A = this chain, B = another copy of it.
């Protein structure tokens, strides 16, 4: 059915070696022969079989993206992976690379899926998302010497891999800045209780800004909860019950913010009126919630494209003549001012 390089060779009465060289643009083939090969390839509708190619070259030309759902994640998952994936895939496709999506089992730090991809050599490299502060996937890939890049930083693995992250520290800082400028002194911070690295970065920025403004950090105003609506709903009252309740809350996650606002509403507190609310990562939900939520927005599709570039720059097979580079970048977020603060 599908034509192979042998079919072309037989059809043209030349050897398969020449056909292959002609197709791959090698120099040692007569211009006329090459022309005939290309024509025949078009006529016979030839495309190289990727399995054969992979086997010979030891490279699959596909990149695995591993997405690890959080335990207890809500039905629709993290909305921002689609645009990120779009960018990632677009740039990879320009290099004729495929994107394989691997999802971990929710609820556990599973390496099994990852291990399978690596050991059966189904992909040439891996992109990790949802990086933990200490991430066993990173440890594993580092030790295995398998190329990878991450969306988000981690304390694991050192600086040996490319990573692209959002500047959560600066966002936490700016959020406090903005609230202080609007007269707030009692500012709460609510973040996920998971080991997710961004939760730590966010808190660093939050603390730094408070110090700069000479405001003492009150542990009662910092709380961790499940990274979903329920988490925000459960943990917000906790902060409100402190001896000296906050007048503003920064949520480190959109879903938690929605749950938190629900809790506030039930306590008769109106976000944007009686309580300032800022969300660190903007999603469409923030735009449509009532009140609309002030939030920091990342540019996801460009990030996807950029991380693809960074990964490729670290791979010997794709890096230019100037050699491989490990690039790490931290991108700023754009503040979208809305009604809630």
- Give the interface of A toward B (CB within 8 A): 1-2, 45, 47-52, 54-55, 60, 62, 65, 69, 74-83, 85-86, 89-90, 93, 98-103, 113, 116-117, 119-122, 145, 258, 283-285, 288-290, 300-301
Q: Which residue of B51, B79, B120, B300 is within 8 Å of A121 (Cβ)?
A: B51
User: Chain A: interface secondary structure?
Assistant: mixed
**Chain B nearest CB: distance from A55 CB in Å?**
4
Q: Which residue of B60, B93, B283 is within 8 Å of A51 (Cβ)?
A: B60
Enumerate 29 A-B pairs (CB-CB under 8 Å) in ascending A order.
A47-B116, A47-B119, A49-B121, A52-B55, A54-B54, A62-B100, A74-B284, A75-B83, A75-B300, A75-B301, A76-B80, A76-B283, A76-B284, A77-B83, A86-B103, A89-B103, A90-B103, A98-B102, A99-B100, A99-B101, A99-B102, A100-B100, A100-B101, A101-B101, A285-B285, A285-B288, A288-B288, A288-B289, A289-B289
Bound CA–CA A301/B122 (angstroms): 25
- Are A119 and B45 CB-contacts (below 8 A) given A100-B100, A283-B76? yes
Contact B45 A51 (CB under 8 A): no
Q: Which residue of B1, B74, B98 is within 8 Å of A122 (Cβ)?
A: B98
Contact B101 A2 (CB under 8 A): no
List 6 extra interface pairs beyond A50-B122, A54-B55, A75-B300, CB under 8 A. A47-B116, A49-B55, A51-B60, A76-B80, A78-B82, A101-B101
- Are A85 and B101 CB-contacts (below 8 A) given A76-B80, A119-B2? yes
- Are A86 and B69 CB-contacts (below 8 A) given A119-B47, A285-B284, A288-B258? yes
**Chain B nearest CB: distance from A157 CB in Å?**
19
Bound CA–CA A75/B282 (angstroms): 11
**Chain B nearest CB: distance from A3 CB in Å?**
10
**Chain B nearest CB: distance from A233 CB in Å?**
13
**Chain B nearest CB: distance from A70 CB in Å?**
12
Closest to A90 in B: B103
**Chain B nearest CB: distance from A234 CB in Å?**
18
Q: Which residue of B75, B121, B285, B290 is within 8 Å of A2 (Cβ)?
A: B121
Closest to A61 in B: B122
**Chain B nearest CB: distance from A208 CB in Å?**
30
**Chain B nearest CB: distance from A74 CB in Å?**
7
Contact B120 A48 (CB under 8 A): yes
Max count, chain B CB within 10 A of own CB: residue among A60, A82, A117, A121: A82
Contact B51 A55 (CB under 8 A): yes
**Chain B nearest CB: distance from A289 CB in Å?**
5
Residue numbers in B under 8 Å from A284 (CB-CB): 74-76, 79, 285
Residue numbers in B under 8 Å from A89 (CB-CB): 101-103
Bound CA–CA A89/B1 (angstroms): 29
Residue numbers in B under 8 Å from A258 (CB-CB): 288
Residue numbers in B under 8 Å from A75 (CB-CB): 83, 284, 300-301
Closest to A112 in B: B93
In the complex, the 9 A-B pairs of residues with the closest C-beta atoms, listed nearest first: A290-B290, A77-B82, A47-B119, A51-B54, A51-B55, A50-B120, A47-B120, A288-B289, A50-B122
**Chain B nearest CB: distance from A300 CB in Å?**
7
Bound CA–CA A60/B55 (angstroms): 12
